[in-house]
Amino acid sequence: MITRLVIILQNAAPPELECLTTVHVGYNDENFYIADLVVVPEAVSDGVDLMYSPGDLSLAVEVVSPSSKSVYEPAPFSVTFDPAQSMRLRG
């Protein structure tokens, strides 16, 4: 799922944006999330060693699996789509 999303986003994104996987996103001095996928400006990515701040991100994606679902209950919102269908629309 993430690989398909990366391919779709890389094909659609302007060159100054970069798609990265398994990225640390700090939301305070003591806690962080590990996002499955983020889109960041390349200029920001060049200056970050380990931890991105939420303000650095243009997009963050977390794929919720059955094993992690309880962490996200209740879900803030749900998005469902077939990445393969999106690729067919692009040509």
Q: How many domains does the chain have?
A: 1
Q: What angle do CA 65, 2, 72 make, to 5 degrees?
A: 30
Distance CA 74, CA 71 (A): 9
pTM over 0.85: no
Task: Give me Rg for the CA atoms of the chain.
Answer: 14
Residue 72 falls inside a structural domain: no
* Mean pLDDT value across the chain: 79
Asked if residues 51 and 30 have their Cβ atoms less than 8 Å apart, the reply is no
Q: How far apart are CA 43 and CA 21, in angstroms?
A: 17
pLDDT given for residue 81 in this prediction: 55
Taking 90 as the threshold, does the pLDDT of residue 19 lie above it? Answer: yes
- Cβ(45)–Cβ(68) below 8 Å: no
Query: Does any domain span residue 84?
Result: no
Model pLDDT for residues 34-89, shown as the tens digit of each residue: 889 999 999 998 888 889 998 999 998 888 776 665 555 555 555 555 555 555 55
